[in-house]
Each structure stands twice: as C-alpha cells, then as structure tokens.
A = this chain, B = another copy of it.
C-alpha cells in the first residue's frame, strides 16, 4: 500500500498506544479499531485495563454494544459472556461451551496515563520494548507531562508518520505559531539510534514566535534546538530547547535541566496507531520543564498545540483525498528534507518484511 512497498500494511508484533488511561472505563465499553480489527476496551473493578476482540465470534456483533457484568463482557445480541482473558464463561442457550468460543485478548501495559497494546503474537510481547517513559520525559523528575488529545483521522497512517518526521513543514503549515522561516532553512542532522531515529536542527539567534515568548515569558532573540525522534512503529517525540543566544555551541543535553541559560524545554509526544488501512488513531501528549505550576501556561499550550495538530490532520486528509480521487499511486519526488521520513519508512518496512518472512516460513 502506497507509500509502502506492495503488499506491506501493518507491523503487528509491536506496541502501539491503544488509548489514554481514562478511555478505559469501569462502566462503559469503548470500541476502537486497531490494525484493521475492532477492539473492545474497558477496565475491571480492580482497575486492570482490558482489550479484547471487538467482534463477537458467534454472529459478528460489536462487543462494544454489549454490557459489562462485573469484570466480564457480555455480547448484547445473544448474551454470550467472556471474562477479561477472552475465555467464554456462559452461552445462555446451551450448557456446553465449545473450546473455539473465545475472544482474542490483547496484551496491555499501562504507564503514566497511556495504555499500550500488542496486536501481534502475545508470546512476543516484551514490555521492555516500550520506550522508557523516563527517557520520554513522561515520567521524569523536573518535567510536567500533560494528557492531550485523541483524534481519528480519515487517512492512511503513514502519511501522518511522514508528516511528523519532516518538520521543515513547520515554516509553512504552522507559520506563526510554532514555525519560523529558520526551521526549514536549517540543515537537519540525522542520527540513527538503536531505539529511535533522530533528526536535529540547530538555529542560532532566531526569532521567537509570539506563542513561545508568552509561555517562556521571554522576549528577545534565542538559540533553539529542535529534535524529532521516531520510535518505530508509531511514536514521534518532538523536543525543543530554547536558550539565550550564545548557549547552543556549549550545550550539554544531559545537563540542560540544570543549565541556567536554557530558558525551557518541552516535548510533544505524537502517538500514531493504525485504525484501518485508511483511518488512523492519533494521540498527543506533551511535557515541559518551565512554568510547571502555572495552569494558564498549560491552557495556552494545549490550545495552541490543538490548533497546530488540526493543521497536520487537515493536511494528511487532503493528501489522502487527493490520492483516492486521482486513483493510481503517484511517482515520488524526494528532497533532502525527506531523508528522515524515508529512513523511518524503511525501518517500518523492514519490521513488516521480517514478520512476513517469519510467517511464511513458520511450521503449521
């Protein structure tokens, strides 16, 4: 599927964000599509999040239209009941329960306010594969993390992934809020990490936008470093350092929290989970080091980030729409700024190709 190589769709043996903690409720079942399947999400009385197949195996009725009976989920059509592991515990019209009557149950990990899901082979679901939330600055001393948004987009997910990896679009799509001309004009340096693929831009003595001046409570020129880290398959962390001019050359990243010439740092966490082949779940949170006790700053940042995200969504959906109306897959014209996106795409494609080869050589 464009822009992937023919036949590639999803990397399944991976952790994705299934939702925010508060989207897993004790008294309500939520349906969310993940990698082409409906998933029914809820939480047990003791607080454990649950994700099971959102399709009753009996008659394909959406499980999310059913009821919770204690910790169990009951189909709303013929009353078949399953426990949180997906084991069928009751068929009202018969006493015998066939072994094949069960719901697939998804491995979940809850960290900070996020619930991660593993849509692939449960035997391979290693929690250590989830990016460390301390490394991400979602759970780290000196950082305040804020739950952001959930959106469902009418676009194939890779358009969103590649939007996020080339932030030269900040200067145009997001001019005036988070982008200045300098972003696109500055060369990107790519760093191939083991866990993530980083693109970094260093800008000296640049303008500060009105938005950043307000939340940093700072007027004047700045040095600015902008990084975007892609953790395959679907997390992107945009990281910015704002510094007094002259600081950039001597900045030691690990000491930035303690550096008094650093005006502030923030990270936006973009989490992309394929819904179906042409729809996408998109979760956004952010964390910051500055003005952590000021709710008004949180409010301003949330408002501005939402408007920026809506621009990204509109762009991805406009492209999806154009591609569909036009019909055939287009030729791709790549420029230097696409290097990050293309390397990210290759990473994801090789995850998919590895899965395909494992599946095709597996003994039956």
**A: which residues have CB within 8 A of B?**
33, 36-38, 55, 57-62, 65, 74-80, 91-94, 98, 100-101, 162, 166, 168-169, 171-173, 181, 184-185, 188, 276, 315, 318-319, 322-323, 325-327, 330-331, 333-338
Q: Are B276 and A101 in contact (CB under 8 A)?
A: no
Contacts of A91 in B (CB 8 A): 335
C-alpha gap A29/B116 in the complex (Å): 43
Q: Are A337 and B78 in contact (CB under 8 A)?
A: yes
Q: How far is the CB of A325 from chain B (nearest CB, A)?
A: 6
- New contact pairs (10) apart from A92-B171, A92-B184, A92-B185, CB-CB < 8 Å: A37-B326, A55-B322, A62-B322, A74-B172, A77-B173, A78-B184, A78-B335, A93-B184, A94-B336, A276-B325
C-alpha gap A162/B77 in the complex (Å): 12
Q: Are A77 and B36 in contact (CB under 8 A)?
A: no
Contacts of A94 in B (CB 8 A): 335-337
Query: What residue of chain B has the Cβ atom nearest to residue A275's Cβ?
Result: B325
The 30 listed contacts between A and B (C-beta, < 8 Å) are A33-B325, A37-B326, A38-B325, A38-B326, A55-B322, A55-B330, A57-B331, A57-B333, A58-B333, A59-B319, A60-B323, A61-B318, A61-B319, A62-B322, A65-B318, A76-B173, A77-B169, A77-B315, A78-B166, A79-B168, A79-B171, A91-B335, A92-B168, A92-B181, A93-B168, A93-B188, A94-B335, A98-B333, A98-B335, A101-B333
Query: What residue of chain B has the Cβ atom nearest to residue A325's Cβ?
Result: B276
Q: Are B77 and A172 in contact (CB under 8 A)?
A: yes
Q: How many copies does the complex hold?
A: 3
C-alpha gap A336/B92 in the complex (Å): 11
Q: A92-B185, A331-B57 are in contact. Are A36 and B78 (CB under 8 A)?
A: no
Query: What residue of chain B has the Cβ atom nearest to residue A331's Cβ?
Result: B57
Contacts of A325 in B (CB 8 A): 33, 38, 276
Q: How far is the CB of A307 from chain B (nearest CB, A)?
A: 16
Query: What residue of chain B has the Cβ atom nearest to residue A277's Cβ?
Result: B327
Contacts of A33 in B (CB 8 A): 325
Q: Choose among B100, B162, B315, B326 the residue that contacts A333 (Cβ–Cβ < 8 A).
A: B100
C-alpha gap A58/B77 in the complex (Å): 47
Q: How far is the CB of A118 from chain B (nearest CB, A)?
A: 20
C-alpha gap A78/B78 in the complex (Å): 53
Contacts of A188 in B (CB 8 A): 93
Contacts of A330 in B (CB 8 A): 55, 57, 60
Q: Are B75 and A172 in contact (CB under 8 A)?
A: yes
C-alpha gap A60/B166 in the complex (Å): 14
A171, A333, A336: most-surrounded residue (chain B CB, <10 A): A333
Q: How far is the CB of A158 from chain B (nearest CB, A)?
A: 12
Query: What residue of chain B has the Cβ atom nearest to residue A318's Cβ?
Result: B62
Contacts of A92 in B (CB 8 A): 168, 171-172, 181, 184-185
Q: How far is the CB of A121 from chain B (nearest CB, A)?
A: 18
Contacts of A184 in B (CB 8 A): 78-79, 92-93
Contacts of A61 in B (CB 8 A): 315, 318-319, 322
Contacts of A173 in B (CB 8 A): 76-77
C-alpha gap A325/B277 in the complex (Å): 10
Query: What residue of chain B has the Cβ atom nearest to residue A323's Cβ?
Result: B60
Query: What residue of chain B has the Cβ atom nearest to residue A55's Cβ?
Result: B322
C-alpha gap A335/B276 in the complex (Å): 30
Query: What residue of chain B has the Cβ atom nearest to residue A94's Cβ?
Result: B336
Q: How far is the CB of A51 from chain B (nearest CB, A)?
A: 17
A-B CB proximity, top 4 nearest: A92-B184, A93-B337, A57-B333, A79-B172
